[in-house]
Each structure stands twice: as C-alpha cells, then as structure tokens.
C-alpha cells in the first residue's frame, strides 16, 4: 500500500483496522450501508461525496471483503455488507453514541431498539428489556429527541433515515 493509506510499522491491530476503514468517508459509507444503502448513486447523493472518491472507497472495501458486490434486483450491481463488514457495527454504534453524548445537546439523535421486544438498547448495544446483546439485523433505528424540530429534508434518501428503519434492510428510495 502506498504512502497515504497505510500506517506501516505500527505493528498494531488498531492501525491495521484503520488502514482499511480509517480513510476519509469510509466509515460514513459503512454507516449508510448499515442503514440499507446499497447502490452507487444512493451513496453518492446521500453523502455528497465526489464520485471518484466513492468509486475508490467501494473498490477498496470490496477488495478487503468488507463489502460484496452482488447483482441487484434492478439489474445493476449493489454493495452489500459481508459478515466481516457487519462486525464493524459496534464501531459505528460506539461512534454514534459518542457523538450523541457530546455533540447533541437535545439528546440522542437516534434511539436503537430491539426489534423483538422494542426494548431500548444502551450504549453497549444491550437491550434494556430482555438484557440480550442485540445483533445489527435485530436492531431498529428510530429518530431520537435530538433530531426533533429539525427542518424536514429535501433528499428522499435522507428523509427516509428519519423514519424507523431496521438496520441492514435494503432501502429503495423509490419505495420509501
């Protein structure tokens, strides 16, 4: 790997992980993937990321088997989280919890619920109802108090993220 992406000689799993997911935009792409975004154009329009950068990041993530490129129902390929990618959920969740805690004065912007019993998840991802650790596929993201009163969004994809959504379930903007 070339100068800018790597942290050679760090000899550390944090550095190795960051070589894969630590570049600018990458964790936001993965966040969107957990939200159900799967298509190139949806990532591009929601993130407002330069298409060349998105193309490069998706290629890297597919090479690293964090995402898989699979045929989609529309005839175009889609990008799907692999098991390896899905296991980054805890990282995304912890970053969200930290951002909510320190940068959202009105309270959390998102509340995570256990789909099975509607229990609220704590910052560790444990269900306040049944006490279980909840996998991302069993998690529902709902708007929290920190997001109330904000103006509605023009972007249909961004607007869909204001509704309760099951994590990992593919989103189709035309179906939102």
Partner DNA sequence: GCTGTTAGTTCGTTCAATGAACTGCTGCTC
Partner DNA sequence: GAGCAGCAGTTCATTGAACGAACTAACAGC
From the list DNA, its own copies, none, pick the one residue 41 interacts with, judged by a Cβ distance below 5 to 8 Å according to partner type: DNA
**Contact flag: residue 7 with its own copies (CB under 8 A):** yes
Choice from 100, 134, 160, 171 touching its own copies (CB under 8 A): 100
Task: Please give the Cα distance from 20 to 168 (Å, whole number).
Answer: 21
**Contact flag: residue 159 with its own copies (CB under 8 A):** no
Residues 3-42 that bind DNA (CB under 7 A): 3-5, 23-25, 39-42
**Residue span binding its own copies (CB under 8 A) among the ranges 14-22, 36-44, 53-61, 111-119:** 14-22
**Contact flag: residue 155 with DNA (CB under 7 A):** no
Task: Please give the Cα distance from 22 to 48 (Å, whole number).
Answer: 19
Choice from 10, 63, 70, 74 touching DNA (CB under 7 A): 74
Angle (CA) 49 50 56, round 5°: 100
Residues 50-79 that bind its own copies (CB under 8 A): none
DSSP code, position 21: H
**Residue span binding its own copies (CB under 8 A) among the ranges 53-61, 68-76, 84-92, 164-172:** 84-92
**Contact flag: residue 114 with its own copies (CB under 8 A):** no
* Residue 94, both tokens: 């912890």
Are 32 and 46 spatial neighbours (Cβ–Cβ below 8 Å)?
yes
* Residues contacting 51, CB < 8 A, separation 6+: 44
**Contact flag: residue 101 with its own copies (CB under 8 A):** yes
**Contact flag: residue 31 with its own copies (CB under 8 A):** yes
* Residue 51, both tokens: 């298409």
Query: For the purposes of burial, counting CB atoms within 10 Å of the CB of 35, is it exposed (0-12), middle (13-18) or buried (19 or more)?
Result: buried
């Amino acid at each position: 790997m070339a100068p800018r992406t790597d942290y050679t000689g760090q000899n550390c799993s944090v550095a190795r992980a960051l070589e894969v997911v630590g570049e600018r935009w990458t964790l936001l792409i993965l966040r969107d993937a957990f939200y159900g975004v799967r298509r190139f154009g949806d990532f591009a329009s929601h993130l407002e990321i330069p298409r060349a950068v998105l193309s490069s990041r998706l290629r890297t993530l597919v090479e690293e088997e964090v995402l898989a490129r699979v045929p989609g129902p529309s005839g175009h390929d889609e990008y799907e989280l692999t098991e390896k990618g899905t296991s980054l959920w805890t990282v995304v969740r912890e970053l969200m919890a930290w951002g909510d805690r320190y940068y959202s004065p009105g309270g959390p912007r998102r509340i995570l619920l256990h789909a099975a019993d509607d229990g609220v998840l704590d910052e560790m991802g444990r269900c306040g109802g049944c006490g279980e650790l909840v996998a991302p596929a069993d998690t529902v993201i709902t708007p929290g108090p920190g997001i109330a009163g904000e103006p509605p969004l023009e972007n249909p994809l961004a607007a869909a993220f204001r509704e309760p959504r099951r994590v990992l379930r593919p989103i189709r903007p035309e179906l939102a």
